[in-house]
Structure 1
């Protein structure tokens, strides 16, 4: 893949996360019926919702994705400390939206990320949320070797989520990204990585679970939307109009679809609405240069 195409795919992935986040942020915690009554069908980035977002404002999904990307760019060989520094700086900015597990970890971190994640799991009684999946895309974009992608996917997940299901899902996600960056079709890439798992049924029929923040539920719905949609626009609109944890499911599915379609094929009205687009542009350029340097 030439550099211009690589940049287009990487930029598309980052914008895909942000668009799914900004569109879905309006309907987070709503039911599909509530969304239908209020919007008919939500197709535009209008803000509002439980977080009172400005149109085009993003939430923790995009901002933590940028933290992971910036940390990798700062120290590609060993990015954990750099990623962690950016997590803490973002947390100190008092963000509107932050998940329970991540809030607990960032609020109690005392020098050891894995220990903080373990203690959060023990004290909360769970850590299988979707917060490490929503931010893991930069790993698949930055590294050229699968062994590095898998290693860093697990590492960034374990910094906040002490649950093997989160590890495994982040790895599967970025293995799909790896295939997409090597020219595979979106459905083909998803099928190849999901075959034989409990998630395979979600490719054919709607998942029989709520679109919740539980990693298993979120991944099923994100896969369903990404696999069955006819366009990028369809992917993120499906997520937004199902409600539940719609910003995160939209970000997860939107990231995959964005890598596949590339920035040049995304709806420009969506791209132009995103308030952090200058940051996304800068990170996309630098991630592309890093990825290209490994080749």
Structure 2
């Protein structure tokens, strides 16, 4: 269990660090500049050092910290972790999250609603999906897992599409932690949803952008069509668009399936947050044994 939890956290961080190099580029631009990205080299529009991560991993860590501090009622603690992180002026924060964290005055869900209205109902970005995996890792009770997954999404993203994507993703993760095969888990959870066509298309007919539905479609596409963890994150990173987030979200599930011991060391050893992820893996595992 600890190896799987560690694999999920590290898998997400590796995808983030790898995909950050190509974020906001298209496939042709990536090919012209890099050929094919196969290692974590940093750079990108955020000018990262090799092994640095983006807001995707930072917010995932914030969710994990909040859960480990207060497993029975983690939302207030998660919120405090969000605010603490935002006070450090991180780079590349998404619009919806930035507005919610800047305007928060005591009620997360009310603030998310106000931002949703101010953005003409557009709060269905992928910012809550990219951070939700620790909820599935921490809770062995499915009802509790789904409740916290839903609430952590609604803290910043009022749109139901965002919460639905988080639930589908974490239900797949929950199945993996019960020993189910990834493709079986994926098929069971996307059946009769807008994501079911992933199993039948050669490639998605939408851009790999930050809209949560498009993001999850591309995540599921890579998970369905790639065999190894390395293939999943490399293919996602080299497709461009919102590549750090798509590679991170896909890498989290594939890393969870593979376990940490199967992740390439050239990816895991370079991460700047590796010690933090090691400690959080142990803490989340301990929570799972209690809750």
The normalised TM-score by structure 2 is: 0.98
SS at the partner of 1:111?
A: coil
Q: 1:279 corresponds to which residue?
A: 276
Q: Which one of the candidate residues 80, 84, 90 is aligned to 1:89?
A: 84
Q: Map 1:1-295 onto structure 2 (within 5 A).
A: 6-125=1-120, 126-205=122-201, 206-294=203-291
Q: Is the 8 A contact 1:65 1:137 kept in 2?
A: yes
Shift of residue 203, structure 1, vs aligned partner: 2.7
Is there any run of 5+ residues in structure 2 with no aligned partner, and where?
none
SS at the partner of 1:183?
A: coil
Per-residue CA shift, 1:132-189, capped at 9, x if unaligned? 0000000000000110111000000000000111111111111101100011111111
RMSD of equivalent CA atoms: 0.7
The normalised TM-score by structure 1 is: 0.97
SS at the partner of 2:40?
A: coil
Question: Which whole-Å CA distance do the structure 2 matches of 1:20 and 1:31 have between them?
Answer: 17
Residues paired across the two proteins, number: 289
Question: Which whole-Å CA distance do the structure 1 matches of 2:66 and 2:53 have between them?
Answer: 19
Shift of residue 230, structure 1, vs aligned partner: 1.3
Per-residue CA shift, 1:82-117, capped at 9, x if unaligned? 000000000000111200000000010011000110
Q: Is the 8 A contact 1:149 1:171 kept in 2?
A: no
Is there any run of 5+ residues in structure 1 with no aligned partner, and where?
1-5
SS at the partner of 2:213?
A: helix
Question: Which whole-Å CA distance do the structure 2 matches of 1:9 and 1:203 have between them?
Answer: 25
